[in-house]
Amino acid sequence: MTIQEKAQTVIDEFAMFDDWMDKYAYLIELGKDLPLIDEKYKDNQHLISGCQSRVWLHAELKDDRMYLTADSDAVITKGIASLLIRVLSGQAPKEILEADLGFLKDIGLQEHLSPTRANGLMSMIKQIQLYARAFLLKSQNA
Amino acid sequence: MAIDIQKIRADFPVLSTKVHGKPLLYLDNGATTQKPRQVIERIKKYYEEENSNVHRGVHYLSQLATDKYEAARAYIARYINAASEKEIVFTRGTTESINLLATILEDNLSAGDEMLITAMEHHSNMVPWQQLCLRKKAKLKVVPVTPGGEIDMAVFSEMLSPKVKLVAFAHISNVLGTINPVKEMTRLAHKRGAIVIVDGAQALAHTPVDVQEINCDFYAFSAHKAYGPMGIGGLYGRESLLDRLPPYQFGGEMIDQVAFDTATFNASPQKFEAGTPNVAGVLGMETALRYIEEKGIENIQTHEDRLLEYATNRLEKITGMQIIGQARQKTAVLSFVVDGLHPYDLGTLLDQMGIAVRTGNHCAQPLVESYGLTGTVRASLAMYNTLEEIDLFVDALQKAIKMLR
Ligand SMILES: Cc1ncc(COP(=O)(O)O)c(C=O)c1O
């Protein structure tokens, strides 16, 4: 599936909830189910400083595709991370760089996208893009 | 006399707004309080009818603005019982007042000297001193806080060595709600000949403030935490000290005579007020304090104590609840964590339910970390909060906990 298709499945899923409570309950479930990041990546090098909740992010390239794992000490942040991973992980770096992440708005999580929101989500997106750019450069130079 | 909370609530326009489609329940008063109509209208009136630069013009309006501005200073001096209005310097607020002090008190601290602060200080009453001590190669010593959230007076007393030249502490802690025994702390520090600075940011709205009774040398405050506007506050300073301390910034009304190679400066407090001041802010601050005075600070205290006690009792019944700050003398602040849950998650869900609380380290990172935490949830009260709101808040919190567990 392309990023767009994956994003659409997320939008469709969230469209089933019309109440914010259910939406957040689902996000919390996703957060709890997020596969654990390898403990060795939960270090300062992988820490994205997001002021209040700590987020760790790891990216690696396999067969020209980028795979992401993440963790956070806040479960809602983890839930959002899990959405990002579901949509972006396993895609080519170039696709990730060009991806439209508007789906987070479409599912009603726009307040989490504000750069002043102290949850590290924006920094997380930036960090993913940074990894993607680095992988892309490396493959172009190789 | 009891105060009529519903009547008070009607004075605060923001309290009838909605967030996320829910009626706003505002419990972030430690960060800033809401403003009554009277304050908002005072600022509007100034700009509509009185705006002019102060201390400068020969014309009517300038004289009017100057008179109102200086009358506000006199009122505020009386409000905190300063000996004279010359002891009130207007600043942007507590942070600027303390930074001003950390600059002008430089010559009162030499290499090898010591300065004392407490572990419950806000970054604004910590980092300016830390940097001053670094510049002067002086030692910053930190009085620890007991697990309950109090200053151990025996330890405080013991740490007051003859080398201590400056002592700074909060009147009320923004994280713990502790009301410190500022009068006794000042007395002990003065016995050592130290200069005493009190951070009054959290005190003005919740407790009577009498600087002569405390007998401190400086007292810093912010209007916005006491129903007044943002960007304005003040510094009380003992007149004899203000008179002999150097200016902080230069330019404008603080200057007396000037030539290209030299200048002389006005007497305090003007000496410390460089540039055009925030006149509307000063008038708004005066109106806010008059509003508090009209309601009666003792009545407000009684009401807030009742809310605090009720909220504490309800919170304590929640499984896994840990209230941070259980001082015997405490006001208006409920900081807490719930076992296994991140404050940010709780804050996010409460926000969805229309409830404004603060989460994080509340600009007191070392203190929060000393409890082994990275953050807490903080609900902080004001005179317009009600018992019904406490019920709504605790019910919402329980709902959030259930969702997260
Ligand atoms: C105890 C304490 N000191 C200082 C400050 C700083 O006040 P301001 O931001 O108004 O300068 C605050 C505000 O959060 C505070 O709570």
For the stretch B304-351, pLDDT in tens is: 999 999 999 999 999 999 999 999 999 999 999 999 999 999 999 999
B342/A20 touch (CB, cutoff 8 Å), yes or no? no
Under-70 pLDDT residues of chain B: 1
Contact between B195 and B216 (Cβ < 8 Å): no
Which residue in the set A20, A25, A74 is minimally distant from B345, CB to CB?
A: A74
Q: Are residues A24 and B352, on separate chains, in Cβ contact within 8 Å? A: yes
Could you tell me if B291 and B371 are in contact, meaning their C-beta atoms sit under 8 angstroms apart?
A: no
Residues 6+ apart with CB under 8 A from A130: none
- Residues from chain A that touch B343, judged by Cβ atoms under 8 A, are 52
> What span, in angstroms and rounded, lies between the C-alpha atoms of B89 and A138?
60
What is the pLDDT, as a whole number, of residue A117? 61
Angle at B201 between CA B144 and CA B356, to 5 degrees: 95
Residues in chain A, total: 142
**Average pLDDT for A105-112:** 75
Distance from CA of B403 to the nearest CA of A (A): 6
From chain A, pick out residues whose CB is under 8 angstroms from the CB of B374.
54, 73
ipTM associated with this complex: 0.88
Q: How far is the CA of A72 from the centre of ligand 1 (A)?
A: 29
pLDDT at residue number A120? 67
Q: Into how many domains does chain A fold? A: 1
SS3 B358: strand
Taking contacts as CB-CB distances below 8 angstroms, the residues of chain A near B345 are 28, 74-77
The reported pTM is 0.94
Kindly state whether residue A142 falls inside one of the protein's structural domains.
no
Which residue(s) pair with B196 in the sheet? B167
Asked if A76 lies within 8 A of B345 by C-beta distance, the reply is yes
Positive or negative, the Cα torsion across B92, B93, B97, B100?
A: negative
CB B346 within 8 A of CB B401: yes
| CB of B222 shorter than 6 A to ligand 1 | yes
Give how far Cα B263 sits from Cα of B95, B101, B173, B269, B271, Å.
Answer: 28, 22, 41, 17, 12
Q: Do B344 and A28 touch (CB under 8 A)?
A: no
- Reading the block at residue B395, the tokens are 């019910």
In this predicted structure, what is the pLDDT of residue A126? 87
* Cβ atoms of B116 and B164 closer than 8 Å: yes
Check residue B353 and give its pLDDT: 94
Residue B292 identity (one-letter amino acid): I
- The residues facing B263 across adjacent strands are B258
Q: Give per-residue burial for A55-67: e unless 16+ CB within 10 Å, then b.
A: bbbbbebeeeebe
pLDDT tens by residue, A19-62: 888 989 999 999 998 877 888 888 888 888 765 788 899 999 99
Q: Name which of A60-69, A133-142, B183-192 the model is least confident about.
A: A133-142
Q: What is the C-alpha R_g of chain B?
A: 22
The CATH number of the domain covering residues in B5-31+297-404: 3.90.1150.10
Residue B49 to residue B53: CA distance in whole angstroms: 13
- Does residue A82 sit within a domain? yes
Q: Note the pLDDT tens digit of each residue in B68-100.
A: 999 999 999 999 999 999 999 999 999 999 999
What is the C-alpha to C-alpha distance for residues B281 and B291, in angstroms, rounded to an integer?
A: 15
Closest partner CB to B345 (pick from A25, A75, A118)? A75
Amino acid residing at A111: E
pLDDT, residue B193, reads 96
Domain boundaries, chain B: 5-31+297-404, 40-293
Task: Give residue B200's pLDDT.
Answer: 98
- Ligand 1 atom with the shortest distance to the CA of B363: 14
* Residue closest to B239 by CA, chosen among B84, B81, B79: B84
pLDDT in the model for residue A113: 61
Q: How far is CA B93 from the centre of its chain?
A: 8
Inform me whether the C-beta atom of residue B369 falls under 8 Å from chain A C-beta atoms: no
The CA distance from B77 to A81, in Å, is: 53
Residue B142 in contact with ligand 1 by CB distance below 6 A: no
Atom of ligand 1 nearest to the CA of B95: 11
Candidates B379, B393, B402, B322; CA nearest to B29 is: B379
**Which CATH number covers residue A130?**
3.90.1010.10
| Alpha carbon of A59: minimum distance to chain B alpha carbons (Å) | 25
Annotated catalytic sites of B, by residue?
Answer: 363
| Residue of B18, B123, B337, B348 for testing the chain A interface, max A β-carbons within 10 Å | B348
**C-alpha B201 – ligand 1 centre gap (Å):** 5
Whether residue A51 lies in the annotated active site? yes
SS3 readout for chain A: CCHHHHHHHHHHHHHCCCCHHHHHHHHHHHHHHCCCCCHHHCCHHHEECCCCCCEEEEEEEECCEEEEEEEECCHHHHHHHHHHHHHHCCECHHHHHHCCCCHHHHCCCHHHHCCCCCCCHHHHHHHHHHHHHHHHHHHHHC
- pLDDT at position A124 is 85
Q: How far apart are CA B40 and CA B288, in angstroms?
A: 10
CA B2 to CA B379: how far, in whole Å? 23
Q: What is the dihedral of CA B190, B192, B196, B198, to 10 degrees?
A: -90
Task: Inform me whether the pLDDT recorded for A118 exceeds 60.
Answer: no
Q: Residue B163: is it exposed, middle or buried by C-beta count within 10 angstroms (0-12/13-18/19+)?
A: middle
Q: How far is A49 from chain B (nearest CA, A)?
A: 13
On whether the CB atoms of residues B27 and B346 are closer than 8 A, the answer is no
Class of domain B40-293: alpha beta
Q: A75-88 vs A20-33: helix axis angle to the nearest 10? A: 80
Give B109 to chain A, closest Cα distance, Å: 34
CB B393 within 8 Å of CB B336 = no
**Could you tell me which of B132, B22, B292 has the C-alpha nearest to residue A21?**
B22
Q: Do B343 and A51 touch (CB under 8 A)?
A: no
**What is the span of the domain harbouring residue A30?**
3-137
Report the Cα–Cα distance between both ends of chain A, in Å, rounded: 27
Q: Rounded CA gap, A30 and A47, in Å?
A: 21
Q: Which helix (H) or strand (E) holds B39?
A: helix B37-45
